[in-house]
Structure 1
């Protein structure tokens, strides 16, 4: 007979949205159960996404630096020709993941959150049965938080398996593929494609759109395109991928020509979709918004006391959005008056160079004459030059209202600019005006000085240009 448990809060999914919701519930004295469906504590981001990909990207950049030193020297540094043992690199990455898994487990234990490992299936909006290694457990709850996350999109003619891989498998390879074809020119495909190019793979990218990273404006993506060209990455834009047979990927180019691209591995990164299948969502009676669960500004679904957070609820599908929503939902359940209404959710592409975008972009304000736009190049920032980050076309750009100088958006492209993203988001969230940024004494020498100078330039008096 199945064990039956009752709880105040039942959380389905242990990713950034779910485990943060659990910890906050515990802090607020709410009895909470967290069901981990198999991805591991931390979900996609910690186990097979954000964290491991950035570890591999970091290792790839180190390998590239040593390779430069071996190919004639860099900064006066010379070295012997390097070699990469990707199995050891992957083992190092896995160690980071294990350490963070243990950290999340410790935090949940401290918050007195009961974690159940198993797959949950709902019979109604407040009741599910979890299949565990020790048998079935039926759980009924007063509140349910859905945090099931997302999964890679599989193409019908490029099913995952064998040499056709998703980002998950790409992060666990034990050797660098000689030839890697990436299908999809979004941020996931470019991040991993660039990393493997640095590690020595020959890389080709197939993208249906006419340019890479189509959600960003051309000024932001041009430095990335230049890096790819300089480093011999083969680009097929406006092209469609087809079947993969006998080590060759069939594609149709923009002008209709048929090509065969040799590939040891084909990495498919055409997007992610919310994980809505296989756990009884259809039995819960919640309204949908296309493929996503529909929520209001409290993250409430159409079913009373059923909440949803993270990738399940729509774009942007970013870990930090999910964790913020999870925290707010826990506080609402505890009786706090909260709303999820951020001014911005900043996004970062960890490409080469990196891209940051927060708030409105030139694409959003196209045709308006009430917006000031100012750009400051990183080549005029001393810290950027000292970090070899000043010669790739990088910049910081601000958009502000002409009438009151309120910041509307901030973007940047360049090496290390991901570390500026929180400053951008903070200023926008606080409703800062250009004078606020200009009046803040920025530390010298830092990359953040470019934000200061861009704001000064918008006011008409940049110092270093």
Structure 2
């Protein structure tokens, strides 16, 4: 007979989101089990944030150095691809999770290795690699933190072509001579930037009319210009209709009949929730569906079930998932102790309000693109009376000291009725480090007349804040 083991909380998924839920519930004194079928640390640690930034950092540093007097001649050669890939391997701990397991053990949570599935309310089965099944039950909550997987479109020939997904692109052990990237979102542009810099001849195919469609239009325009200058072939308004691999060559046929050959093809065409084999049908939910939650990350209609991170589709970003985990952990602990939540308190510890109004994101291309809050189009669609205030970052004193020939742009979206910022976008070298100031302004709803007294240091790129405010005030 299979033994049933009871915990206060069971967490499905040991990525950074699941780890943070477990840490918060353990800190509150709740016994917690964590179930993981792959590596503790999840997608971000081994196949997304960490390896992608390890690949991108040398590309960006070299680009900046080539625009810096005194360094130009010293950095004209190619990147040492072998060294870059070796550094990437170190950053992902060579795809071993010993360190993450030690950290998780230190929280007092119990780790179960295997495929976790719901088996009715508050009940989880864990099937290990040896086929052994363990049954866990949760007194208070089950938190689903299983994240997402890459989606590859069902094109003719794609199954036999062995295309790359984001995991392959961040973990590859060699530089392909020719790489075809399909998709103009974050994964597509970051991987195009990285592999072009490492020596691939990249062709980037985009179905729409611009890159980074969820950002301000100028973000995609500046990134596309830079990719072309780096040697990439960037094509808008085109779609793949079939993919065929013949030995070492993969051929992508486009909707106009043209054929493009490469050594590898990367599909960066979206994500789907990892809920298809999660047992959702045992609790009346559709397998493979996104899980809809309230601001405490509780799943609608299930008082014991939480969905945290990418799986709830609120904001597919690691930092937002970790933020949600802190909220969900606090909410689970409060409800377990019978403490009522102040669900209507927008500043409370139990409501993930930042998912609605102040989501920050940095795209680590050259130039970087960083944004928080609403774009102009989003603000107008939401019915706000707004004004977009733009400024050329090249006109800021600090930008010319950062690199020669600095190119970039800044925009803030002002709510004209309340005179607060609804969104901010920066594009240019080094702008990722400007983003948190914008996030504070948007999340804190800091009035424009108070921002006027937040004096930026001279001469830094952050002086763009002064110039934006001057432009607004006329």
Scaled by the length of structure 2, what TM-score is found? 0.88
Q: How many angstroms does 1:160 deviate by?
A: 6.1
In 2 relative to 1, CA 369–429 (structure 1 residues): closer, same or farther, beyond 3 Å? closer
1:92 aligns with: 87
Looking at structure 2, the residues matched to 258 and 16 of structure 1 have their Cα atoms a distance apart, in angstroms, of 44
C-alpha distance in 2 between matches for 1:437 and 1:390: 29
Superimposed CA distance per residue, residues 317-338 of structure 1 (whole angstroms, 9 cap, x where no aligned partner): 1112211111111111111622
Q: Which residue matches 1:431? A: 445
Correspondence for 2:352:
340
Provide closer, same or farther for how the CA distance between residues 63 and 361 of structure 1 changes in structure 2, counting only shifts above 3 A.
closer
User: C-alpha root-mean-square deviation of aligned residues, in Å?
Assistant: 2.6
2:437 is paired with a residue of what secondary structure? helix
Give distance in 1, aligned partners of 2:63 and 2:375: 32
Query: How many Å separate the matches in 1 of 2:466 and 2:105?
Result: 43
Contact 2:240 / 2:254 at 8 angstroms: preserved in 1? yes
Cα distance in 1, alignment partners of residues 23 and 197 from structure 2: 39
Aligned counterparts of 1:159 and 1:126: Cα–Cα separation in 2: 39
> What displacement does 1:214 show?
1.9
**Superposition map of 1:334-373 within 5 A:** 334-335=333-334, 337=341, 338-342=350-354, 343-366=357-380, 370-373=385-388
- In 1, the alpha carbon distance for the partners of 2:416 and 2:462 equals 23
1:249 aligns with one of 238, 248, 251: 251
CA contact under 8 A between 1:56 and 1:93: conserved in structure 2? yes
Moved more, 239-248 or 46-55: 239-248
1:34 aligns with 2:49: no
What's the counterpart of residue 120 of structure 1?
116
Q: 232-241 or 259-268, which moves further after superposition?
A: 232-241
Residue correspondences, number: 450
Q: Helix, strand or coil for the counterpart of 2:208?
A: coil
* 2:122 is equivalent to residue 139 of structure 1: no
Point out where structure 1 has 5 or more consecutive residues left out of the alignment. 461-465
Q: Distance in 2 between matches of 1:312 and 1:330?
A: 16
1:2/1:223 CA distance change after superposition, 3 Å:
same
2:151 aligns with one of 142, 146, 153:
153
Supply the distance in 2 between the matched residues of 1:27 and 1:144 (Cα, whole angstroms): 17
* Cross-structure match for 1:9: 9
CA drift of 1:150 comes to 0.1
TM-score normalised by length of structure 1: 0.89
CA contact (8 A) 2:320 2:359 kept: yes
Check if 1:404 corresponds to 2:418. yes
Q: For residue 111 of structure 1, report the CA deviation from its aligned partner.
A: 1.9
Within 2, Cα distance between the matches of 1:441 and 1:182? 43
Match of 2:465 in 1: 451
TM superposition shift of 1:227: 0.8
Could you say if the C-alpha distance between residues 103 and 378 of structure 1 is closer, same or farther in structure 2, counting changes exceeding 3 Å?
A: farther
Q: Provide closer, same or farther for how the CA distance between residues 453 and 105 of structure 1 changes in structure 2, counting only shifts above 3 A.
A: farther
| Runs of 4+ residues deviating >6 angstroms | none
The 3-state SS of whatever aligns with 2:84 is: helix
Q: Which residue of 2 aligns with 1:43?
A: 42
Alpha carbons 1:166, 1:267 under 8 Å: kept? yes
Q: Which moved more, 1:382-391 or 1:267-276?
A: 382-391
Per-residue deviation, 1:65: 6.5
Matched with 2:347 is: none
What stretches of structure 2 of length at least 5 have no aligned partner?
342-349
Asked if 2 retains the 8 angstrom alpha-carbon contact of 1:152 and 1:272, the reply is yes
Give the deviation of 1:259 after TM superposition. Answer: 0.7
CA distance in 2, matches of 1:382, 1:160: 52
Structure 1 residues 154 and 259: CA distance shift in structure 2, 3 A: same
Residues in 1 aligned to 2:396 and 2:286: alpha-carbon distance in whole angstroms: 50
After superposition, what is the alpha-carbon deviation per residue over 1:67-87, rounded to whole angstroms, capped at 9, x for unaligned? x59xxx963553487455544
* Pair 1:280–1:449, CA change in 2 (3 A): same
Assess if the C-alpha contact under 8 Å between 2:41 and 2:100 holds in 1.
Answer: yes
Q: Is the 8 A contact 1:26 1:111 kept in 2?
A: yes
Structure 1 residues 226 and 252: CA distance shift in structure 2, 3 A = same
